[in-house]
Amino acid sequence: MINRMAFAALFALCPLPTLAMDLGDYQLVDLSHSYGPETVYWPTSPTAFIKEELDYGISEGGWFYSSYSVGAPAHGGTHIDAPLHFAEGGISTEKIPLENLLAPAIVIDVSGKAAADRDYRLTVEDVSEFEAAHGKIAPGTIVLLRTDWSRHWPDTLAYLGDDTPGDATKLRFPGYGEAATRILVEQRGVAMLGIDSASIDYGKSQDYIAHRVGASRGVSNLENLAHLDRLPPTGSIILALPMKIAGGSGGPVRVVALVPR
């Protein structure tokens, strides 16, 4: 039911034939950070993004050719968390329903509150205020929490609040509060939660309750997003296609928003 309602909402916003014919009516906004030497990873990650040159230059046949080997932990940079990340028996990356990866989005803006309190967590009141202004959040929606934390990227100390290698106990950045997460996941039936900070759980969290609540209901997460300030509160469509890793708990993802002009 949730998936059908998500598609119904998507079609109501933009029927697929219209989308194919009138893409010029939409602005495409890249919500992803590039992967490279400065990509921010969790302090306990044993490795970071690795790109190694295999070939670069003029080949024996006389044409130019380049090739690289790349590798990275699944949970770093702009990435997706599959439910398996925090739910034993949860679905893995390659099994996330496609209708959850292409869906209408809403943006809840708490950037002012996060600027005043880097430990800020989305509250029930924030959700209520959003719905009072824009209507009830529909099942199958992708919820994006705008904190404007991406302005700190890729300064690890400013972004995470602490840059001690191997220690994740002193991090400080905004996220989702438990009560608000339960409303979105358990009562509204959203498809996915996203945020422009390092985690949907705020930095000080030691129990990762937002992850656990969502994962228990099959909800995936998008983390380390960018440019949420370029999206309206409602009306956007999100396309989030992760690397299709069999049995994975997440992976790198390219996230694009279609914003009506």
Amino acid 15: pLDDT: 47
Instruction: List the beta bridge partners of residue 26.
Output: 260
**Is pLDDT at 21 greater than 80 in this prediction?**
no
Encoding tokens for residue 121? 């967590």
Q: Is residue 78 within 8 Å of 150, Cβ to Cβ?
A: no
Reported as a single tens digit per residue, the pLDDT across 115-153 is 999 999 999 999 999 999 999 999 999 999 999 999 999
Instruction: List the beta bridge partners of residue 242.
Output: 253
Q: What is the pLDDT averaged over residues 57-74?
A: 97
Q: 2-34+74-260 has which fold?
A: Glucose Oxidase; domain 1 (3.50.30)
236-261 burial string, b = 16+ CB within 10 Å, else e? bbbbbebbebeebbbbbbebebbbee
216 falls in which pLDDT band (50, 70, 90)? very high
30 falls in which pLDDT band (50, 70, 90)? very high
Q: From the CB of residue 124, how many other CB atoms can be counted at a distance below 10 Å?
A: 15
